[in-house]
Amino acid sequence: MLRAVDIQKSYGKLHVLKGVSLELHAGEIMTLAGTSGAGKSTLLQILGTLDLPDSGSVLFEDQSVSNLNDRKKAAFRNQSIGFVFQFHHLLPEFTALENVCMPAFIAGTAQEEATTRAEELLSRLGLKGRFQHKPSQLSGGEQQRVSVARSLINRPRIILADEPTGNLDTHNSNELYELMFELAKSTGVGFLIATHNIQLAEKADRCLRIKDGLLE
């Protein structure tokens, strides 16, 4: 479903990615393990069309997305890719429900339809009683689950998650991983999760390791 072919990326004299190739399939949980600075975040940004590779290509369902113009890239991200980051980036002045609805509103979804979908996702993620709570009223684990619901609101084909459990304790980390595994199997969404937590990474369908810009 998503394929990277010989991705190379440098920032000045720093060669971050040195020819990375991978494939992610529908319903698959794939983890990308490695230390800080190994190139995990850079690779996810390139796969999500937030950054350009110096060379190589990214293909979604065998169609190149690397060279799309900005408007088409934005549409591709909104419709096909969901993002989950280490810091949840929830809007503090809005409720959990409103935060989840935001990408759907941007995509032009009607309010009633978006709200119904958001309520379903939050309920599925164990947040049925938290719709009207603002981020400051939620625990760290709950905030990250809201961000996962937000990433799923537009029914993307792929979720790219960058250290999604980096700010969570062990219990909440395990719980979030189990939720993502269940979602992958029940919805067919492919998850690519970058993490430095080897123990969690090895629970995935496939675990790739990146070191010095290369997959091991």
Per-residue pLDDT of 27-83, as tens digits, reads 999 999 888 778 888 999 999 998 999 999 999 988 888 888 888 888 888 888 988
- Over range 16-22, report the average pLDDT: 93
Q: What is the pLDDT of residue 9?
A: 95
pTM for this model (two decimals): 0.86
Write down the residue that tokens 């998850």 correspond to: 191
Tokens standing for 204? 């995935």
- Going from the C-alpha of 134 to that of each of 90, 154, 216, the distances in angstroms are 9, 21, 42
- CATH, domain range 25-38+68-215: 3.40.50.300
Q: What is the pLDDT of residue 105?
A: 92
What φ, ψ does residue 131 adopt, rounded to 5°?
-55, -45
* Structural domain spans, the chain: 25-38+68-215
Decide if 25 contacts 192 (C-beta within 8 A): no
Per-residue pLDDT of 123-171, as tens digits, reads 988 888 899 999 999 988 899 889 889 988 988 899 999 888 777 788 8
Q: What is the pLDDT of residue 6?
A: 94
Higher-scoring residue by pLDDT: 176, 193: 193
Write down the residue that tokens 């947040």 correspond to: 127
Q: What is the pLDDT of residue 164?
A: 81
Decide if 83 contacts 152 (C-beta within 8 A): no
Decide if 168 contacts 142 (C-beta within 8 A): no
Number of other CB atoms surrounding residue 42 within 10 Å: 23
Per-residue pLDDT of 99-125, as tens digits, reads 999 989 988 899 999 999 999 999 988
Give 9-21 as a 3 state SS string: EEECCEEEEEEEE
Q: What does the CA dihedral 136, 139, 141, 145 come to, rounded to 10 degrees?
A: -50
Q: What is the pLDDT of residue 46?
A: 92
- Over range 4-19, report the average pLDDT: 93
Strand-pair partners of 165: none
Tokens standing for 135? 């981020």
Strand-pair partners of 92: none
Q: What is the pLDDT of residue 70?
A: 87
Higher-scoring residue by pLDDT: 213, 166: 213
Core vs surface per residue 46-69: b (16+ CB within 10 A) or e: bbbbeeebeebbbebeeeebbebe
